A and B are shown apart, each in its own frame.
Chain A
C-alpha cells in the first residue's frame, strides 16, 4: 500500500488536566474515506481540530501529505478542507463572502462557477448574499461542507456534517465525499451516526475516552451484527 496521506502516531491532546485524546494512531490513504465513530467526548472532534491545524498536538507526531503539522501548519491548512463540528461560520458574513475569503487565501482562480454549483447542490443559492447569523442549524452545516469542499482539498475533514441536515443535504454531502474519493482525496468523517458513516466510508475507526478501540472495514460495522459490535465497543 502507498504512504498514508494522514499519519497520526501516538497523538495526545491535553487541555489542562483533561486528556481529550490519549494516544491514538490514524493512517488514512489517498482515495479512501475513513469514519471516526464514537460517543460524545470520545476525542473525535479534537483529533479533527488537530488535523485541521486549529489545535496543536500535546504529544505525538501528525503529518498530512508528509508535512508535519507542528512546523508546517500553514501548508497543512492549504491542503485541508475543514468542516468544524460547531458552527464554522462567521455570523455577520454572507456565504459568498466566506467563499471569497477562502478562495483568495488559497490563491484560487476561476472558482466562482464551482462555488455557485456547490451552493446550488446544497440548495443555498438563494441565500448566498444573506448573512449567516440568521441561518438555521441545517443551513449552517450545509454551508460548512461547501466551504470545506470548494477548493477540492487533498484532505477533506468533515466533523459531524450530517448533524441536523435534511435528506437533500445528506445526499449532497455523500456526493461531495464520492467526488473527493474519485479525484484521490483523503476523507476523514467524524460522526456518531453509524449508518451514514458506513454508507459514506470504506473504513471505520472507533474511539472511546480519547483512545482508539478498533479500526475495521466499514462492512464489519454494517447491519444488526455490526450494530451489536459497535455497541460493544462503546460500552
Chain B
C-alpha cells in the first residue's frame, strides 16, 4: 500500500527549489513563452504587424525629421525647447512612476485568473509588465515628444548620440517606475498599507503645492539631476557620454533585478484594495423611480466599486490638472485637457463597456427590459464618468488660470461636449464590434488585450487632439460664437454615429454575440 513520503525520504531532494540564477533564467524563458502565447491569440495579425511597423517608422521619423525643419537648432523656439528638455525628462520619469503605481505594477501578460493554473513566478510577472509597458499610447507619446524635441532643438552631428541616450533614459524611467510601483504595491498590501500610501500621496501633493505657491518651482526644476544626464547626452562621443550610457544601462539592469524583490513581497500579500472592495458592505438604498435610474445605479456601482477605475480616474483627473496648475496653462490651451482625460477614461473600461457585467451579462440579458434602456444606461454612466473626470481636471486648471474670456469659456465648453460625444460614441461602437471577456477586479486589468489597447488609444488620441486643437484656435478668435458654430457639425456627426450604434444594439444576434463573449 503506498504511503505518504516521510521526512527522511530521499526522493524529496528532487523537488527542492531551484537556485536564484536558475529561477531567474526560468522566469525569463517563461516571459517568452507567455508572450508567444499572447501573440498567438491576436485576432488580426496583419493589423498588429502593421501597427508595429507604423510605430517603428513613426519613431524613426520623429527622431530625425524635426532636425530638418525650419528653425531647428536655432536661437528661437528651438533653444527654448532645448532649455526645457531636462524638465521634460524629469516629467517622463514622474509619469512612468505614476502610471506604474496607479496600475499596481503594470500590465499582466496573463490575467490573474487565467494564470492561476500555471506555475508563473512573480519575477515572470514583473518582467512581463516591463515588456508590455511600451504597448501603451501614453508611453509612446512620451517617447515621441522626447525624440522629437531633441531632434528639433539639437540637430547636428551629435544628434545620434543624444537620441541613443534618450532611448536609454526611457528604458531607465520604465524600469525605475516598475520598481517604485512594486514597492508601493508591497507597502499598500502590508499593515496600514492603504493609510501609508494615501499619506505619502498627500505629503507629495502638499510639497508640490508649497514649492509652487512660494515661487520656487523654477529653482526646484533646476536642481533635478536630469540636467546632468542631459549634459552627458549632448556631449557627442566624449567620455562623459560613454559614462552616461554605461550608468543608464547598469542602472536599468539593476532596477530590473531589484524590481523582482518587491514583486515577490507583494505577491505574498493580499491585495487589500481589491479584497476590501470585494468584502465591503453596501446597505440597501431606496429604489429609484424609474427603470433607467435603477440600471444607471447598477452600472455606477460597477464602475465606482472597481479598483482599476477608481485609481485610474484619480490619476487621469488630478494628474493633468496639476500639470495645468504648475505649468500655468492659459485657458486657450486648456482645451487640450478634456480630450486627453476623456480618451484616458475610456481606456479604463469604455472601449469594452459591456465587460462591466462580467459573467452577469447572461443574467442581465434575461431581464425583461428593452435593449435600448440597457444601452442608454451604459452610455450615460460612461458619459458621466468621463465628464466628471474632465471637469475635475479643468477645475484644477482653473485655480490658476483665473476667469476666462467669453470666447475661451465657449471654446472650452464646446470642446468638452464634442470630445465627450466623440469618445462615448467610439467606445460604444467598439464595445459592440470587439467585445472581450475581461475581469476588471484587479488594479492591473485592462478592458482589452495590449495590441487592441494601443489601437484604441491611438485612434482616440488622434481624433480628440485634432478636435482640441481646432477649438484651441477658436479660443484665440475674439468671438465666442465661432466655437459654437464649429461645435454644431461635430456634434451632429458624432450624434448620428452614436444613434447608429444604438440602433445596432437592438439586433438580438449582434447583442447575443456581445453578451456571450463578455460572459465567457
Contact = CB atoms under 8 A, between A and B. Distances in A.
A84 B512 contact: no
Contacts of A129: 281-284
Given A90-B298, A90-B302, A100-B294, A105 B369 contact: yes
B366 A77 contact: yes
A91 B441 CA distance: 8
B356 to A, nearest CB: 8
B248 to A, nearest CB: 42
A56 B512 CA distance: 7
A90 B367 CA distance: 13
A97 B301 contact: yes
Contacts of B279: 130-131, 134
Contacts of B295: 101
B311 to A, nearest CB: 15
Given A97-B301, A131-B278, 5 more contacts: A77-B366, A88-B359, A93-B298, A93-B360, A101-B295
Interface string A150-183: 0000000000000000000000000000000000
19 contacts: A49-B362, A49-B512, A53-B366, A54-B362, A54-B365, A54-B512, A56-B509, A73-B508, A86-B362, A87-B358, A87-B360, A87-B362, A88-B362, A93-B298, A100-B287, A101-B295, A105-B369, A129-B281, A144-B363
A56 B358 contact: no
Contacts of A94: 282, 284
A88 B518 CA distance: 12
Given A97-B282, A130-B281, A131-B277, A90 B364 contact: yes
A89 B298 contact: no
- Decide if the interface of chain B is mainly helix, strand, loop or mixed: helix
A73 B363 CA distance: 14
B264 interface: no
A133 B278 CA distance: 6
Contact of B363 (A70, A89, A92, A134): A89
Contact of A88 (B356, B360, B512): B360
Contacts of B509: 56
Interface string B247-285: 000000000000000000000000000010111111110
A106 interface: yes
Contact of B282 (A86, A131, A134, A144): A131
B287 A104 contact: yes
Contacts of A101: 294-295, 298, 367
A102 B366 CA distance: 10
Contacts of A215: none
Given A77-B366, A87-B358, A92 B294 contact: no
Interface string B363-400: 11111111000000000000000000000000000000
| Ranked 9 nearest A-B pairs via Cβ | A87-B359, A134-B278, A90-B360, A84-B362, A92-B305, A77-B368, A82-B366, A78-B368, A56-B508
A96 interface: yes
A55 interface: yes
Nearest to A16: B513
A54 B516 contact: yes
- Of the candidates A92, A100, A106, A134, the one having the most CB atoms from chain B within 10 angstroms of its own CB is A92
Interface in A86-137: 86-94, 96-98, 100-102, 104-106, 129-134
A90 B359 CA distance: 7
Contacts of A87: 358-360, 362-363, 519
B465 interface: no
A100 B291 CA distance: 11
Contacts of A186: none
Q: Chain A contact residues (Cβ within 8 angstroms of B): what range?
A: 35 or more
A83 to B, nearest CB: 8
A188 interface: no
Interface in A36-64: 49, 52-56
A102 B278 CA distance: 22
Nearest to A129: B281
Contacts of B441: 91, 133
B108 interface: no
Contacts of B366: 52-54, 77, 80, 82, 84
Interface in B113-149: none
A213 interface: no
B357 A90 contact: yes
B306 A92 contact: yes
Contacts of A77: 366-369
A197 interface: no
B368 A106 contact: yes
B515 interface: yes
B359 A89 contact: yes
A101 B373 CA distance: 13
- Of the candidates B295, B356, B364, the one having the most CB atoms from chain A within 10 angstroms of its own CB is B364
B439 interface: yes
Given A53-B366, A96-B284, A133-B278, A89 B516 contact: no
Contacts of B515: 54
Contacts of A97: 282, 284, 298, 301
A75 to B, nearest CB: 8
A132 B279 CA distance: 8
A93 B302 contact: yes
Contacts of A74: 368-370
A130 B301 CA distance: 12
A231 to B, nearest CB: 29
